[in-house]
Structure 1
Amino acid sequence: MRELGGADVYLRNCASRNVLSLLSNKWLCLVVGVLSQGPARFGELRRRLDGITQKMLTQTLREMERAGLVDRRVYPTTPPRVEYSLTALGAEVEALMGSIRLWSEEHMDEIASARAAYDERASRAVEPL
């Protein structure tokens, strides 16, 4: 596509690399999964995403909002109630991330076995032929 003036993710200065970098964030993938089930408040997201820190969740949500993947809605209550939901663009990303999550869950045992076999081979002393 480079010859046609389009995107080429393999070029270091191509803007599509920024998109790829955004989508490769594991927390983004997991936030998208939770929000695919409907709008959620910050506390709900934090409870559902075991292991995420408040700081990381805040950064992830801001980045997603900035990229147009998440809509942040503030309700005029005391204290203010904030809800996050996927935008149409975020819903498209959910289709991709959902496939990745499913593949990960379906193949986690195979990956674990392959890693264990590799580690076993790597731990053995090198024997001369």
Structure 2
Amino acid sequence: MRRETDGTSRRMPTVAGAAPARARRLVGRTGHAVVPPRVDHAPTPLGSALHVTIQALVTWTEVHRNEVAAARAAYDVRGDG
């Protein structure tokens, strides 16, 4: 692997592997010993709680899409900034 990733340190795969491990607080991972290998992902209770907040933001964006577009267009016409 090191030959294939010329220019990276030996520590880099370890550091890069930490991000998915840290994300497991939001998303759980279940590996299955089958051929071909299979992994299932599902939100943890903490991830589910975050989903509620993100869904509220998505809903707000959908409801106010036209207002946001109009405000952007007015800004572009005025040339503010």
For Structure 1 versus Structure 2, the TM-score category normalised by the shorter chain is 0.5 to 0.7
CA distance in 2, matches of 1:64, 1:120: 43
Say which of 50, 59, 64 aligns to 2:23.
64
Unmatched runs of 5 consecutive residues or more in structure 2:
1-16
CA distance in 1, matches of 2:63, 2:23: 27
1:100 aligns with 2:48: no
Give the aligned length: 62
CA distance in 2, matches of 1:64, 1:102: 25
Say which of 41, 58, 63 aligns to 1:84.
41
Q: Residue in 1 aligned with 2:79?
A: 122
Query: TM-score normalized by structure 1?
Result: 0.44
Structure with the higher helix share, 1 or 2:
1
CA distance in 2, matches of 1:78, 1:71: 21
Query: TM-score normalized by structure 2?
Result: 0.68
- Higher relative CO (CA 8 A, sep ≥ 6), structure 1 or 2? 1
CA distance in 2, matches of 1:64, 1:112: 34
CA distance in 2, matches of 1:64, 1:104: 26
Query: CA shift at 1:104, angstroms?
Result: 1.0
CA distance in 2, matches of 1:101, 1:71: 23
CA distance in 2, matches of 1:74, 1:118: 50
Percent sequence identity over matched residues?
35
RMSD: 2.0
Amino acid at match of 2:27: V
Larger Rg belongs to: 2
Amino acid at match of 1:90: G
